[in-house]
Chains A and B, each alone.
Chain A
C-alpha cells in the first residue's frame, strides 16, 4: 500500500514510443500479463473461490457470525474516526506547507512521511510504550479509568497514525501543482483566510482530497500490523476484520477465514474503481472542455 504515494498532482501524460518490433512488444505484454495473472488475479480469484468452497450457506454463516459482525462494526468505527481526523489534519498540514515559509518545514515534511517509513509493527509498539502498563502515563490513565492499549482507543490511534500520510500527501501534491495565485487574487479582493480556504482552495483541491480519502479508508480498514500489536485480539471486542481473518485461519476455519477475507478483497475492488473514477474526473477537470477560439477585443 505504501507504493500508493503517487499522486494526482504529479501524474503526467506518458509518452508513447513504439519503435520496438511487434514480436518484442507481444513478448513484453505476455510477460506483464502473466505476472499480473500469477500474482494479482489468481490470488484474488482464489480468495473468492475458497470463500465459497463449503457452499453459500457456510459463507453466509461465517460472515453473519456475531464475532464477524463485531469485527465489521469495529473496522467501520475505526475508519469512521481515523479518516475524518486525517482529512482535517491532512488539509491543515498541506495548507501550512504549501502556503507558508517557516523554519522546520522540511522536518515537518519528513515527519508526515514517518508512518510510511517505519514498519507498522513498530508503530504499534510505539503506542504500547506510550500508553501501555509500563509507560509513565499508565498511572494517569488508570486514574481516569481509560484503557488505550488492548482497547478501541488504541486501535483508532494506531490506525490514524499509520494512515496519516495518505490524505496529507495527496492534498499537498495538488496544492503545490496548482500554485497559490488564485488565493492571492482572492486576498486582494478582500477575502479572509477562512473564506479563501472555503471558496477557493478546497474547491480547487477537492479531487485530491477525495482521492486521499479513498486511499486512507482502504488502508484504515485493511491495517494489520500496528493494530495487531495494540489490539490484544479479544474476540468480539478488539478484533478488526484483518485480525479476525488471521484468527479464523489459525484455527483452521479456512472457509470462514476466506469468507471474511473476501469482504476485504471486495473493499479493495471498490477502492480501485473509486480511485479510477476520481482520477478520471480530476483529469477532466484540469483540461478545458470547450476551448473557445480567440476573439479579438
Chain B
C-alpha cells in the first residue's frame, strides 16, 4: 500500500501568500511513516490534501498501491485523515465519532460496537466512549481523531500537523505513543509537520519541501549528514551561514569554542551573548569578518572551559557543509 505522487502541481487563484505545489514527485513506502517536512507555505499540507482528494491537482497524478487514484473521489479513496484541529463531531459522543465511518457503511450494529470498543482500547481511551469531545483534553481528542480515522481500515493514514495544537510535553508523549501504535498497526502513513525533530523521530523516510518543490528526500540520516543544497543545510539543525565565496553552513553543535590566549587570526571571536537552556548553553560569537554565529555546547563542557561574556575565544568549525554558489536556484 505505497503512496506515490508524480509531478503534482497545484496553483491557488487569487492574491496573497497561499501555498502552491510546483511539480512535486515523492514516494511513501508501504507500512512505513513518511514525513512531509517543510516551513509554512512550502506546500506540504496542500500535497497531503491532494493525496486525500480534498484538493484537485492542476497537473500530475496520485497513486495508492500502484493504482492511479487522481480521479477517484475522496470518499472512495479509503484514506484516514487527521486534522491539526481534531475536527471531531462535537454533537456526537466519542464512541459515535469513532463509529461514524462504519455507520455510513451500514455495518451490522454489534460489529460496529465491537470495533469501536477495540479502537478505543487501542488509543487507551476505553472508558471515554460516552463522553463528548469537549470533555476531553487536546491530546485525548487527537487520539480519538486517530481512532476514528483508523475505524474504516484505511489503506493510507494521512496526518496533517496532528500534534501542532498541543503543548510540548503532550507532543513528545504522543509521538512516542504513535510510534508504538504504528508498530502494532503498520498502516502506510504520511505525516505533515514543520517540526524536524518530529519528522526525524517518527519517520524512516523524509520528504523535505521548500516553496512547493522537493528540496531533498531520504532517510533522516541522509538529510542531516548530506544536505543536498543550501536550503536543506540551513533548514536542518538551524545551521549558521558562513562568510565566503561559497555557500557554507555549520550547525551550532558542530562548532567548538575555547578561550583564546593571545592568539590572533580569522578564528578568533568575541562572545556577545550566552544563554543557558537546561543541559545546553547557547552562545552568540562575533567573528572577525562581521558575521555572528550561534554555538551550542553541553553545559558540562562549557563549564569546564570557564568562558564568560566578552571573552575572546578560538572557534573550531568541525563539520562545514559547502555548496558552490548559484546552486540555490533549483
Contact = CB atoms under 8 A, between A and B. Distances in A.
Contacts of B135: 288-292
Interface in A254-297: 285, 287-297
Contact of A295 (B91, B101, B140): B140
B91 A297 contact: no
Nearest to A183: B87
A182 interface: yes
A187 interface: yes
B176 A184 contact: no
A295 B139 contact: yes
B2 interface: no
Interface string A93-132: 0000000000000000000000000000000000000000
Contact of A189 (B88, B148, B158): B148
Interface stretch (A43-51, A74-82, A159-167, A196-204): A196-204
Interface residues of A, number: 28
A181 B149 CA distance: 14
Given A289-B135, A294-B139, A190 B91 contact: no
Interface stretch (B36-44, B76-84, B219-227): B76-84
A153 B91 CA distance: 39
Given A181-B87, A182-B87, A292-B137, A195 B173 contact: no
A290 to B, nearest CB: 5
A201 B87 CA distance: 12
B136 interface: yes
B173 A296 contact: yes
B89 A289 contact: no
Contacts of A186: 89, 100, 104
Contacts of A182: 87-90
A184 B87 contact: yes
B81 A184 contact: yes
A203 B92 CA distance: 9
Contact of A187 (B54, B151, B167): B54
A192 B105 CA distance: 11
A297 B173 contact: yes
A191 B76 CA distance: 10
Contacts of B164: none
A26 interface: no
A138 B124 CA distance: 71
A203 B91 contact: yes
A190 B104 contact: yes
Nearest to B177: A297
Contacts of A192: 75
A12 interface: no
A30 interface: no
Contacts of A204: 90-91
A294 B137 contact: yes
A185 interface: yes
A187 B81 CA distance: 10
B177 to A, nearest CB: 4
A297 B124 contact: yes
B139 A188 contact: no
A292 B136 contact: yes
A296 B176 CA distance: 11
B137 A295 contact: yes
B274 interface: no
B85 A181 contact: yes
Interface in B86-104: 87-91, 100-101, 104
Contacts of B176: 297
B183 to A, nearest CB: 14
B19 to A, nearest CB: 16
B134 interface: yes
Contacts of A295: 137, 139-140
B228 interface: no
B257 interface: no
A188 B81 contact: yes
Contacts of B177: 297
B83 A185 contact: yes
A187 B74 contact: yes
A290 B133 CA distance: 10
A170 B152 CA distance: 35
Given A199-B100, A200-B89, A297-B176, A190 B139 contact: no
Contact of B75 (A181, A190, A287, A296): A190
Nearest to A184: B54
Given A188-B52, A296-B170, A297-B139, A288 B134 contact: yes
Residue among B89, B148, B149, B169 with max Cβ neighbours from chain A (10 Å): B89
Interface string B40-54: 000000000000111
13 contacts: A181-B85, A182-B90, A185-B83, A185-B87, A186-B89, A186-B104, A188-B54, A188-B77, A189-B80, A190-B104, A191-B101, A290-B134, A294-B139
Interface of B: 52-54, 74-77, 79-81, 83, 85, 87-91, 100-101, 104-105, 124, 132, 134-140, 143, 145, 148-149, 151-152, 158, 167, 169-170, 173-174, 176-177
Closest 4 CB pairs of A and B: A189-B101, A297-B177, A181-B87, A288-B134
